[in-house]
Each structure stands twice: as structure tokens, then as C-alpha cells.
């Protein structure tokens, strides 16, 4: 206990007993002490020293050993600090490499998303232009058919007026046939118009389907990215948007049911 107090008083911090002392330094220190003892014996016999002189010699020897231990401790601290700095530098380099890799992955995902969106927009524009062209052609054809029917009806009416005096019966027969023909042509015109409307409706459905696919793609992209716009997984998961929307709907439904349960009035107990 006294030795520990003395070492603490002179500033010796102590050494880790689990770490062996350097063999080279110990040998050098032993040789140095032996040379000092030999020098002291040559000058004066150690057995002839007084108690005070012996204590002074022991104190000097202990101080020399303490200084040697402190020097070893300083070297060990320097080595530890160098190791810590090297570790920090390696960690920083690895972290920077990981960040650059993540940024490159995010940039690639964004470019692919933009390509998909641009392709979907081009497909939608092509569908719209095709539907408009088909509708215009059907309308033009219907107008030509109507004009032809009108001109034919006018010619037939003129002939009917010219031949009215000749035969009422023939006139009635022709009129009935003309009316039936007009009805047939009218039905044909209506069927053409219905076909045009069906084509327009089909084009609208195709356009709606294209926009739905575009919206689903956007939802999938959002579902494959986290809050920091980084990919959630290494591969792009198709249909993740639907699953995320279904999970959000279930959470909202559970929250609504929980709120409705908490808002129900508690029935008071009847007083006896």
C-alpha cells in the first residue's frame, strides 16, 4: 500500500499488468542499474552507506524506474492514438464509398423511372392521336354517306313528283320502298355512329388503362424508395405500390374502428 501511495505521489500512472513489458527496455534498464551499482561500489561500498544515503539511493533508483515506465506509457498512448486515427480514417473512407454507391444507385433508379414515365406518356399520346384519327375518319365517312343519301332522296323525290300523275299506285309502292330504304339507311347511319362512339369509348378506356398503369408505376417507384429517397431493396419490386396502399388502407380502417370504439358512450350503472 505504501509503495502504491509513493508511486502515485511521484506521478506514476501505473501499467497494465496484462501487457508484458518490452524485453529490450527491461534488459537495458537492468544493465543501466548494474552499471550504476558497479560505479557506486567502485566509489564507495554500498554496505557502508548510512540509512539516509541508502534511502536516497533507493529513491533515485525508483524515480529512474518510474521515468522509464512513464516513457513506455507515453509510447503506448502514442501507438493507441495512431491506431485510433487509422481506424477513424478507414471508417470514414468506407462510409464515403458507401454513400457514393448509394447515390449512384439512386441516380440510376431515378433515370429508369423517368424513362418508364416518358415511354408511358409517348404510348398515351400515340393512343390519343390514333383514336382522334379514327373518330375523324368515321365522322367524315358518315357525313359523306348522309350527303349521298340526301342527294339520292332528292333525286327520287323529283322523279316521284314527275311520275305522280302517271300512277298513284306506283307512286305509293315507290314511296313505301323509298321509306323502307331510308329507314335502312338511317339504321346503317345509326350503326355507323354507334360504331364510332364505341371506338371513341374503347380509345378512352385504353387511355384510362395507360394512365392507370402510369399511376401504378409511380406508386411502385414510391414504394421501392424509403423516406430518404433511397432504394428499399436491391431489386425493383413490381406491385409494391398496391401492397403499400392496401396496408395503408388497413391501418386507416383499424384507426377508424379504434376511434369509433373509444367514442361509444359508457352506460351508467343504475342506482339501487
In this structure, the answer to whether residues 89 and 126 fall within a common structural domain is: no
Q: Please state the length of the chain.
A: 272
Q: How many structural domains is the chain composed of?
A: 2
Number of Cβ within a 10 Å radius of residue 224: 20
In this structure, the answer to whether residues 13 and 63 fall within a common structural domain is: yes
In this structure, the answer to whether residues 117 and 89 fall within a common structural domain is: no
Is this structure's pTM higher than 0.75? no
- Residue 17 domain-assigned (yes or no): yes
- Residue predicted with more confidence, 158 or 88: 88
In this structure, the answer to whether residues 79 and 118 fall within a common structural domain is: no
> Which one of 187, 207, 227 terminates a domain?
207
Contact present, 198 and 76 (Cβ < 8 Å): no
- Residue 238 domain-assigned (yes or no): no
- Residue 98 domain-assigned (yes or no): no
Q: What is the pLDDT of residues 20-62, one digit of tens each?
A: 444 456 677 777 776 776 676 555 555 666 777 777 777 877 8
Q: What is the pLDDT of residues 183-204, one digit of tens each?
A: 988 888 888 889 898 999 999 9
The DSSP line for 194-218 is HHHHHHHHHHHHHHHHHHHHHHHHH
In this structure, the answer to whether residues 125 and 88 fall within a common structural domain is: no
3-state secondary structure of 238: coil
Strand partners, 231: 225
In this structure, the answer to whether residues 37 and 80 fall within a common structural domain is: yes
> Which one of 155, 178, 207 terminates a domain?
207
Task: Report d(CA 145, CA 138) in Å as an integer.
Answer: 10
Q: Which domain holds residue 60?
A: 2-93
In this structure, the answer to whether residues 87 and 117 fall within a common structural domain is: no
Phi-psi region at 49: left, alpha or beta (left = phi > 0; alpha = psi -120 to 50): beta
- Residue 249 domain-assigned (yes or no): no
Amino acid at each position: 500500500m505504501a509503495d502504491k501511495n509513493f508511486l502515485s505521489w511521484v506521478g506514476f500512472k501505473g501499467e497494465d499488468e496484462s501487457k508484458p513489458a518490452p524485453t529490450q527496455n527491461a534488459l537495458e534498464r537492468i544493465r543501466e542499474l548494474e552499471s550504476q551499482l558497479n560505479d557506486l561500489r567502485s566509489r564507495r561500498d554500498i554496505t557502508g552507506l548510512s540509512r539516509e544515503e541508502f534511502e536516497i539511493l533507493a529513491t533515485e533508483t525508483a524515480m529512474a524506474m518510474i521515468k522509464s515506465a512513464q516513457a513506455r506509457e507515453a509510447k503506448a498512448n502514442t501507438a493507441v492514438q495512431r491506431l485510433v486515427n487509422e481506424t477513424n480514417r478507414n471508417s470514414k473512407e468506407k462510409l464515403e464509398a458507401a454513400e457514393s454507391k448509394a447515390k449512384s444507385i439512386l441516380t440510376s433508379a431515378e433515370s429508369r423511372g423517368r424513362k418508364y414515365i416518358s415511354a408511358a406518356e409517348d404510348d398515351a399520346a400515340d393512343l390519343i392521336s390514333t383514336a382522334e384519327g379514327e373518330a375523324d375518319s368515321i365522322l367524315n365517312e358518315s357525313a359523306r354517306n348522309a350527303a349521298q343519301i340526301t342527294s339520292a332522296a332528292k333525286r327520287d323525290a323529283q322523279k316521284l313528283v314527275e311520275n305522280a300523275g302517271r300512277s298513284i299506285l306506283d307512286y305509293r309502292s315507290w314511296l313505301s320502298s323509298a321509306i323502307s330504304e331510308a329507314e335502312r339507311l338511317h339504321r346503317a347511319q345509326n350503326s355507323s355512329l354507334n360504331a364510332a362512339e364505341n371506338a371513341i369509348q374503347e380509345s378512352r378506356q385504353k387511355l384510362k388503362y395507360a394512365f392507370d398503369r402510369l399511376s401504378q408505376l409511380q406508386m411502385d417507384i414510391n414504394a421501392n424508395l424509403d423516406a430518404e429517397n433511397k432504394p428499399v431493396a436491391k431489386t425493383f419490386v413490381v406491385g409494391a405500390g398496391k401492397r403499400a396502399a392496401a396496408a395503408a388502407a388497413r391501418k386507416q380502417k383499424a384507426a377508424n374502428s379504434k376511434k369509433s370504439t373509444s367514442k361509444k358512450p359508457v352506460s351508467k350503472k343504475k342506482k339501487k
